[in-house]
Amino acid sequence: MKHHDGMYIDGAWRPAAGPDVIEVVNPADEQVIAAVPAGTVEDVDAAVRAARRALPGWAATPPAERAARLAALRDVLVARKDEIAGTVTAELGSPLKFSEAVHVGAPIAVAGSYAELAATHAFEEKVGNSTVYQEPVGVVAAITPWNYPLHQIVAKAAPALAAGCTIVLKPAEDTPLTARLFAEAVHEAGVPAGVFNLVTGAGPVAGQALAEHPEVDMVSFTGSTAVGRRIGAVAGAAVKRVALELGGKSANVILPTADLAKAVNVGVANVMSNSGQTCSAWTRMLVHTSRYDEAVELAAAAAGKYGDRIGPVVNAKQRERVRGYIEKGVAEGARLVAGGPEAPRERGYYVSPTVFADVTPEMTVAQEEIFGPVLTILRYEDEEDALRIANGTVYGLAGAVWAGDEAEAVAFARRMETGQVDINGGRFNPLAPFGGYKQSGVGRELGAHGLSEYLQTKSLQF
Ligand code: NAD
């Protein structure tokens, strides 16, 4: 086990103020692999003050130089990609190949996209007799979850750095080692002292102190809707800018004209990847009644093939939560066609890839975010029925539509109350705005839309 001490504050690793630590557990074998300091109000205060001191200098740094630091950061992430992927696998449990391709691949692309955006964005424009400047919001508190440990950090830190903001990051308790590697990468990339700071620690202690700190100008949070609601209230009371990326319960709508086998297989893979711990996962598959039985059979077969290719969920509490939902699905009358609540292995926080058929829209498993490898399959009678079911939750983060004709899929997608829809299996685009309708959040991440979250405008009249 490795003991890490220190927080990255003002350009150096400094001893934590208190003696408490957080243990990091490998979810695949339940071994404690490391410990990091549990930050206190004092650590948070030191980090926020460092960020505040560094703000005028970084805000005044020409965008081209900020772009150069971001390009250097991307290069360090590339150079250290194997180490980062290994660390994500050790603390999150995802299979190494997935860590390499997605957990490290996506943030490298996002860091690169912000190096380019910082260099090319129009931070100044003429509007009639005015010049409008886009200026950094200020000191940003970034609070991130464990499910995509590096991606969630980069999706906040890269646009904030591009905008000229300074940052204090409080990563999730379960995945602090990836965050420490990111801090090292920022240092190696030559980002000036105080511009980026890292405080590890518990959400209700370090996270809350950070969100409430009077010298923080903006809180950018990704995590559960419950905590997001509290952070929104704290930010609202202090009139701080806030960005919230929260939960989801997205619909995968398979229209009658779709290539059913493809839609089902991609849909199952989408839900099972990262062991179902993806906020934008299409956890509700909607199939027309005429093709329902065929779809259920295909989905059960696809889920059954996963075997050892699926990693554990992140911790024991999450595993119990997911099993509890599976039991609830059975109790409410859904039909298990793959997986189930039993632990598939003796060691590690594994959950079997699970598929429920005969799910009705009001069931708990069709309404609440499970955050595990659990797919629900619902039946619809016609397009209006499909739309009502698709839009019938408090969430609106993502979704998918499959149809024989792209225009037909687009027409349906335009009526969905959700922030992102993949048409016939459309690919991930690191420049496309990502974020939620309804209780899935406030604001957007990635690309130019993500950058604008960290900017405020000033107009000068002539
Ligand atoms: P969480 O809300 O418990 O924790 C997220 C972060 O908030 C962690 O860093 C945690 O320490 C911190 N936190 C907890 N309590 C806090 C408080 N009172 N004040 C300040 N910070 C606090 O969520 P989680 O368990 O880490 O992640 C899982 C959830 O996040 C799921 O519901 C998932 O849908 C959601 N999520 C959403 C997105 C998105 O982009 N919309 C992405 C990933 C995860």
Mention every residue, 6+ apart, whose C-beta is less than 8 A from residue 50. 9, 10, 193, 194, 197
* Lookup: tokens for 449: 């839309």
Counted residue by residue, the chain has a size of 462
Q: For the segment 307-331, what is each residue's pLDDT rounded down to a tens digit?
A: 778 999 999 999 999 999 999 999 9
Q: Is the pLDDT of residue 420 over 80?
A: yes
Q: Ligand 1: distance of its center to the CA of 318 in Å?
A: 13
Please tell me the predicted confidence (pLDDT) of residue 445: 98
Taking the domains of the chain in order of start, what are their residue ranges?
Answer: 2-246+439-461, 251-430
2-246+439-461: which CATH topology? Answer: Aldehyde Dehydrogenase; Chain A, domain 1 (3.40.605)
Strand-by-strand arrangement of the 455-461 sheet = 124-127, 130-136, 455-461
Give strand pairing partners of 285: 252, 377
Q: Ligand 1: distance of its center to the CA of 147 in Å?
A: 9
Please tell me the predicted confidence (pLDDT) of residue 125: 97
Q: For the segment 332-361, what is each residue's pLDDT rounded down to a tens digit?
A: 999 999 999 998 999 999 999 999 999 999
Q: For the segment 26-73, what is each residue's pLDDT rounded down to a tens digit?
A: 999 999 999 999 999 999 999 999 999 999 999 999 999 999 999 999
The CATH class that applies to domain 251-430 reads alpha beta
Three-state SS at 105: helix
Q: Which residues are catalytic?
A: 245, 279
Provide residues with CB under 6 Å of ligand 1.
143-147, 170-173, 203-204, 207-208, 211, 222-224, 227, 230-231, 245-248, 279, 369, 371, 397, 441
- Tell me if the pTM is above 0.95: yes
* Lookup: tokens for 287: 């199939």
Ligand 1, atom 16, residue with closest C-alpha: 203
Q: For the segment 115-135, what is each residue's pLDDT rounded down to a tens digit?
A: 999 999 999 999 999 999 999
Q: Ligand 1: distance of its center to the CA of 43 in Å?
A: 21
Q: Ligand 1: distance of its center to the CA of 143 in Å?
A: 8
Ligand 1, atom 18, residue with closest C-alpha: 204
Q: Is the pLDDT of residue 1 over 90?
A: no
